Amino acid sequence: MKPFKTLLNMKSGELNPYKGVIERRLSDTKGMWLDAQAYSKLLNQEDKLIYKVYEVDVPQKSGQLPHCTTIIYPGKVGSEYFMTKGHFHLKEDTAEIYFCLQGEGYLLMQTRQEQVSYIQMKSGTIAYVPPYQGHRTMNTGDEEFIFLAVYPGDAGHDYKAVEERGFAKVLVEERGSPQLMRNPKYVSEPE
Ligand code: S6P
Ligand code: ZN
């Protein structure tokens, strides 16, 4: 493998060159939101783009460092901010680095034992997601929230637990600012 470089457009989050782009629309996020009625209403109006991920072409193998940018668009479903699906790493003892380029957001993390923590992110914030922590990001601002992520090539992605249970906390807007509250729909992971 040869050394290589990628150009990052700091304003749009676009990478050049990139291997692929993942687009997650509202219709890809069914069941993810607290307010099912607000979700259906919004979906009837438009199948909005919630977020996009540009991936660099790096092998998903031990020793490698795949990296990608995520662009989360501003918006809410009910009072809940637009967010990523969220995942644990399949190889759970792998960490990850998030570097915020633009906008404002939250990085929510949770262990399998339901210890929740969060980091507020703005341009220049470098966040460290330790091993064993599920992670999900939310856009709490009025513009695009853009960050670069770097993770071990053998990390793998486990979406199942979050799809089934969500996170123990949700981030909602209350009186104009983000508030983390207990997720009333959350069911604990079986022992
Ligand atoms: C990969 C890293 C990010 C996310 C991206 C989208 O380990 O954490 O690049 O993949 O932010 O989130 P998700 O939960 O849909 O993969
Ligand atoms: Zn990850």
Q: Tell me how far apart the alpha carbons of residues 32 and 22 are, in angstroms, rounded to a whole number.
A: 18
The number of folded domains in the chain is 1
CATH number at residue 17: 2.60.120.10
Q: Residue 191: inside a domain, yes or no?
A: no
Residue found by looking up tokens 């990296």 in the block? 67
The tokens describing 64, both together, are 């490698």
Q: Say how many Å lie between the CA of residue 161 and the centre of ligand 2.
A: 14
Residue 107: domain span: 7-182
- How far apart CA 87 and CA 100 sit, in angstroms, is 19
Average of per-residue pLDDT across 110-136? 97
Contact 121, 147 (CB under 8 A): yes
Check residue 63 and give left, alpha or beta (phi > 0: left; psi -120 to 50: alpha): left
pLDDT at position 190 is 73
Specify if 21 maps to a domain.
Answer: yes
187 is a domain residue: no
pLDDT digits (tens, 9 = 90+) for 67-106: 999 999 999 999 999 999 999 999 999 999 999 999 999 9
Residue 5's CB: how many other CB atoms inside 10 A? Answer: 7
Contact (CB, 8 A) for 134 and 84: no
Q: Give the DSSP H or E segment for 36.
A: helix 36-45
pLDDT per position as a tens digit, 11-57: 999 999 999 999 999 999 999 999 999 999 999 999 999 999 999 99
How large is the average pLDDT for residues 123-143? 98
Pocket test for ligand 1, best of 21, 29, 87, 162 (most atoms within 8 A of CB): 87
Q: Which of 97, 99, 164 is nearest to 133 (CA)?
A: 97
Ligand 1: which residue has its CA nearest to atom 14? 86
35 lies in some domain: yes
